[in-house]
Amino acid sequence: MTGLDRLLSAADGALRAIFAHPAAARANPARGTAAPAELTPDERRLSGALMRVNHVGEVCAQALYTAQALTTRDETLREQFERAARDETDHLAWTRDRLEELGDRPSLLNPLWYAGAFAIGLAAGRLGGERMSLGFVVETERQVEAHLDGHLRRLPAADAPSRAIVAQMKADEERHADEALDAGGTPLPQPLPGLMRLAARVMTGTAHYL
């Protein structure tokens, strides 16, 4: 692909991530669960809010991986980023499906979240070099793992479909982090990890409601 082709592909990916209802390549983990128990109104609201936050995370993941694939000059690394992005497309589809089943909606601020994450991904790819870009993936995915683990503790016990989706997402994020580490990711210097955690708290706190 030429540089222009990649730019057009990135723009198409942005529109799909923000506005389309993507199709997953893998089966939705929720389909393998028993018939879900009836949730109380409070449980349904909580599950909807948590899955909206998770959907925002996947919108951001699409932006990060797309930006990093766009900036790298290493073809093998680009393929790794694109492969991870396809996993995140599955997550995007699964969380969107679950939001609809819960009668809830995606974040109203998804265009803003995507733009911010894309800018961060471009900066990580252009300013830090390949090892730093991979280190950014490692740190991001480790923080996402911890975030998803917290959601598994907060999701209602009766909400087996949401819990199955989040568990599979957590396993995939762990694999992405391990792959980036194996490819040569280097630890990020302070205070970057702390700033990333702070930004994530702002995003998740806002997306919980908006």
What distance in Å separates the CA atoms of residue 136 and residue 183, rounded to the nearest whole number?
12
> Per the structure block, which two tokens stand in for 38?
């009836």
pLDDT in tens, 104-152: 999 999 999 999 989 888 888 787 778 888 998 999 999 999 999 999 9
Does residue 30 lie within any of the structural domains?
no
pLDDT one-digit tens code per residue, 11-21: 777 777 887 78
Domain count, the chain: 1
- Decide if 31 is inside a domain: no
Task: Please name which of 133, 12, 14 lies closest in space to residue 71, comparing C-alpha atoms.
Answer: 133
User: Domain with 87 in it: what CATH number?
Assistant: 1.20.1260.10
Question: Is residue 24 one of the residues assigned to a domain?
Answer: no
What domain range includes position 134? 3-18+42-207
Reported pTM: 0.92
